[in-house]
Amino acid sequence: PASATIAPRMLRGEVVPPESFDDATIMFTEIEGFSELTNTFTALDMVDLLDTLYCVFDEIILGYNVYKVETIGDSYVCVSGVPEPTADHASEIAKLALHFTRAITKIRIRSNPDLELKLKVGIHSGPVVAGVVGKKCSRYCLFGDTVNTSSRMKSTGEPSRIHMSAAAHTRLAAAKAGFHLERRGEVPVKGKGTMETFWLNGLDGFEPDLKIIDRMMESQRSLAAFANSTIVEPAGEEPLRRNDSAPNGGAGNGRPGMLTASKDIGAMGLGSGMVAPPSPSNGQAQTSPFRRAVMGGDRV
């Protein structure tokens, strides 16, 4: 994965100079109606759900040339074409989006397994500036209008659909790889006026591997069984809530056009705008809030 090139350098404390990338594709995802779910279910239910979701997505992303940038609450953000330029960045993100939307149909809230979850996805392609910001808590950040527009595609999309800009559509159409593309039409977009947008409906012969979900759900059930025997939710605890300071579901630092990935070993907080450190071997997150709550440590 692309993360294998940046993560080890960040963990070693190396200077990673800012770079400009002429073309990359960014994807934003979020669970439809997540704010309502936090008002219905307990905080432990939500942590359990997000832990399962992130673990599944982190495993899936290993099969693509895609870099995980950030998780904020229920929002999962990734990019292809950064930090390693690649000609097929739009195709890589498109296939990952199709995989994610299929995967979430098998994920359930444990206390209400009949409730079907739906994912909103937004994709945009364009130039990006990337670099590491900070020393104590270094973050690999993405800057530029492409970040904002990707977030807008997600926020103006629909549940269970993959919404993309004309720029992303142009790249997928040019690839002639068998993507099923549908024109949505002119859509009003905040800060952009009216934009022509498209739906990604499928890909010829694409059958994503969903077996990993069954294995991870079984693992989560085992952890939950242990947690139920050792953890009692504090009385009157407020449910987890989405980080509403993030513009359009974007980065939770209140700064538009910026996404971050953190290497801070102790930093993993829902809605904090920070992610667990990438592993030196594969660049993926090592720790989850649910596992720390259950096991009382940073790693298991």
Specify the CATH number for the domain of residue 120: 3.30.70.1230
pLDDT above 90 (res 124): yes
Q: How far is CA 107 from CA 1, 75, 210, 300, in A?
A: 24, 16, 11, 23
pLDDT above 80 (res 296): no
The 10s digit of each residue's pLDDT in 15-41 is 778 899 999 999 999 999 999 999 999
Is residue 291 assigned to a domain?
no
Long-range CB contacts (< 8 A, 24+ apart) of 172-180?
A: 172/90, 172/91, 172/94, 172/200, 175/88, 175/90, 175/91, 177/91, 177/203, 177/204, 178/203, 178/204, 178/205, 179/91, 179/94, 179/203, 179/204, 180/204
Q: What is the average pLDDT across 161-183? A: 97
Q: What is the average pLDDT across 102-112? A: 91
Is residue 299 assigned to a domain?
no
Is residue 296 assigned to a domain?
no
Is residue 230 assigned to a domain?
yes
- Which of 96-105, 196-205, 257-266 shows the lowest mean pLDDT across its residues? 257-266
The 10s digit of each residue's pLDDT in 42-65 is 999 999 899 889 989 999 999 999
Q: What is the average pLDDT across 244-253? A: 42
pTM higher than the cut 0.75: no
- Structural domain of 31: 3-281
- Which of 34-48, 54-68, 95-109, 274-288 shows the lowest mean pLDDT across its residues? 274-288
Count: domains in the chain:
1
- Which of 2-11, 89-98, 132-141 shows the lowest mean pLDDT across its residues? 2-11
Q: What is the average pLDDT across 216-224? A: 67
More confident residue, 83 or 3: 83
User: How much of the chain, in percent, has pLDDT values that exceed 90?
Assistant: 52
